[in-house]
Chains A and B, each alone.
Chain A
Amino acid sequence: MRTRRFDLLLILPLAIFTLAFLLLPLARLGVTAAGGERGAMAFLAILTEPRYRTSLIATLLLALATTAATLAIATVAAQTLANRRFPGRGLLLSLLTFPLAFPGVVVGFLVILLGGRLGLVGSVTKAVAGTNVVFAYSLTGLFLGYLYFSVPRVLLTLLAAAEKLDPALGEAARSLGAGPLAIQRDVVLPALFPALYTGGALCFATAMGAFGTAFTLATNVDVVPMLIYTEFTLATNAAMAAALSIALGVVTWLALMLARLRATGA
């Protein structure tokens, strides 16, 4: 039974840390959410009160749009990069995955450099058409920012799946008379489906919880994480902030859970 004691010793730091800094705070979060003036009805308020509901719907739509666009772009790019060897391929893949390490605030700033008041797009349109096109602080800017941190994430997953795809499958479909779109629909996308599913869920969960990009761009669209922040710091409504946090956490956790069940189950 000496090993049993050793095992306990190994797990002890992890157990203490998890209890003290994960489970206890999450429990306190729940208590706080239910302990506000509205009590447990705070959760209901997310759906009934227009300000919260609008924000929730906007966040969901933004996350869904980001996921759809990311999957589409990453599917095309992954098929283009898979099984194609060219000089500098390794460096290119590094560059494409590099943005994974950028915090949301930096991504927001990069969008400003593209579409802000001194942005590249603006100066080009000014030189060409005479108008300074500024989109960084609009929904477009927010969407581009989300795309920026989502695509590299999903691209890696899809690239791995696309490289495992037997090139003969596409050739077989062609020999049977299938055109490019039919091949995508009948052969490629079904084969990539598990990766699309996992990547999509990951992308959706990340987009739902993203904060830094929206914070930097300070768009008039209030995404849920921004709402949590303002509720807590400006409105000092800790209960509502906690309720929103829990709701957001449940949504992202569910998305990832579904993806994993699908990936291991089917």
Chain B
Amino acid sequence: MGRRWTTWTGIGLTALLILFLTLPVLLSIVAGLSVNYARGLSAGLTLTWVVQVWDLYADTILRSLIVAAATLVLTLLIGVPGAYALIRRGGRVARLVEEVVTLPVAIPGLALALGLIITYGGFGTFRQSTLFIAVGHVLFTLPFMLRAVMAVLETIDWRVLDEGAASLGAPAWRRFVDVILPNIREGILAGSLTVVTLSVGEFNLTWMMHTPMTKTLPVGLADAYASMRLEIASAYTLVFLVMIVPPLVGLQMVAGPRRERLGP
């Protein structure tokens, strides 16, 4: 009987899918490093385009790193205590609050950005600052931090830990810092890596919110795709890939293959 046609169809289709998902990335890497993409690899390899990308877009790359760092700090300060509070309270009210604060996952980034611009467009300095971009990123990534931390809190017996520390005389905030935080490290780490990956790649919100002085890497990418030669666009994409690989690999190691979904 052998393997049935369905099995072979499945293997064939899966192979095609893998090709479809990986081949364009390989093309982009090759294009970013080849002297002339139209003439193929025979023309030779070069780092010229990468250097040019640095000359043209270094500010966007650095700004993306700054925005990601600021977003991470803010989501940690807001998200970790918030997640703990929601778990501590529990019940219907906490469920409702969770529903509201995770809304940005369900609402398209464009709509969120529009709301922010309409509301804060009049605050000139804030509107034109990198912080404004970071706020947008926090809005979008906060649900992921909350979920990662809450997921871990649900698996540990935080109440026993907290009461145990209380019986030893520790005040509430010390119990949080000394006992709870060390036990949810894994969730915080997974959440942080997700936040950084999402922030570095965020486009929808940023494209609406950015000013000429607050361009991030994906905004620059859109720019390059529209106006630069293919090799530079590819080299720029290569820079982006290099930037998101470390947090992605880290995420795989922390969370394994069952990982929180990332945004568009």
Stretch at the interface among A26-34, A37-45, A48-56, A189-197: A26-34
A17 touches B264 (CB 8 A): no
Alpha-carbon gap, A118 to B84, bound state (A): 52
Count residues of B near A (Cβ-Cβ below 8 Å).
Answer: 87
Stretch at the interface among B8-16, B47-55, B150-158, B182-190: B8-16
Alpha-carbon gap, A149 to B116, bound state (A): 26
Query: Is the interface on chain A under 10, 10 to 19, 20 to 34, or 35 or more residues?
Result: 35 or more
Alpha-carbon gap, A238 to B204, bound state (A): 17
Q: Which applies to chain A's interface (DSSP): helix, strand, loop or mixed?
A: helix
Alpha-carbon gap, A98 to B25, bound state (A): 10
A148 touches B14 (CB 8 A): no
A25 touches B118 (CB 8 A): yes
A103-121, CB under 8 A of B: which get 1 and which 0? 1111011111110001010
Alpha-carbon gap, A63 to B110, bound state (A): 17
A134 within 8 A of B: no
State the Cβ distance, B2 to closest chain A Cβ, in Å: 14
A148 touches B21 (CB 8 A): yes
A63-91, CB under 8 A of B: which get 1 and which 0? 00000000001001101110000000010
Which residues of B have CB within 8 Å of A94? 252, 257
Contact of A206 among B5, B6, B202, B264 (CB under 8 A): B264
A226-266, CB under 8 A of B: which get 1 and which 0? 00110010000010011001101100110011000000000
Closest residue of chain B to A202 (Cβ to Cβ) is B261
State the Cβ distance, A92 to closest chain B Cβ, in Å: 7
Q: A110-B28, A151-B21, A215-B222 are in contact. Are A17 and B142 (CB under 8 A)?
A: yes
B107 touches A252 (CB 8 A): yes
State the Cβ distance, B211 to closest chain A Cβ, in Å: 13
A93 within 8 A of B: yes
B78 within 8 A of A: yes
Q: A22-B104, A118-B38 are in contact. Are A80 and B14 (CB under 8 A)?
A: yes
In chain B, residues 167-217, which have Cβ atoms closer than 8 Å to a Cβ of chain A? 171-173, 176, 197-198, 201-204, 207-208
Q: A95-B21, A120-B27, A148-B21 are in contact. Are A13 and B82 (CB under 8 A)?
A: yes
Q: Write the residues of chain B forming the contact surface with A, with a CB cutoff of 8 angstroms.
A: 4-7, 9-11, 13-14, 17-18, 20-25, 27-28, 31, 37-38, 74, 77-79, 81-82, 84-86, 88-89, 97, 100-101, 103-112, 114-116, 118-120, 135, 138-139, 142, 171-173, 176, 197-198, 201-204, 207-208, 218, 221-222, 225-226, 230, 233-234, 237, 240, 244, 248, 252, 257-259, 261-262, 264
Shortest Cβ-Cβ A-B pairs, 7 listed: A25-B115, A209-B108, A14-B82, A245-B111, A110-B24, A10-B85, A80-B10
